[in-house]
Amino acid sequence: MTDPSDANELRARLTAEQYRVCREKGTERAFTGRYWNHHEAGVYRCVCCGAPLFSSRTKFDSGTGWPSFHAPATANGVREIEDTSHGMVRTEAVCRSCGAHLGHVFPDGPPPTGLRYCINSASLEFERDPDAA
């Protein structure tokens, strides 16, 4: 893979929706992404750079129509940034490796963190756990 920050390379490799979400901070419509109702065991990686972002072990059904996780896969995978766009204060979740927009973090998730990482399917690529039945 070439440099994930290269816009031309990303435009050629990603779908228009993936590029819009990851590089233009877009949001896919609820209940339309390929992973909102996905239940296989494995790791969700950044579609731009391949970094591991979330584990299926932390995924839960939030009822929102987007994949939701209560924690990132690693402490260094997801960066949180204050987002004051759209007339409100939210916390944006981005890939720490390449800066791809993933979604937002809300304080209404389940234990043990109480957080809900509300993530766009378009920003993710799933890698199935080969040991899962």
Residues noted as catalytic: 118
The candidate with the shortest Cα–Cα distance to 72, out of 89, 100, 96, 90, is 96
> What are 57's strand-pairing partners?
none
Instruction: Give me 99's structure tokens.
Output: 């800066």
Rounded CA-CA distance 103/109 in Å is 15
Given a contact cutoff of 8 angstroms between Cβ atoms, the answer to whether 103 and 16 are in contact is: no
> What are 90's strand-pairing partners?
83
Rounded CA-CA distance 21/16 in Å is 9
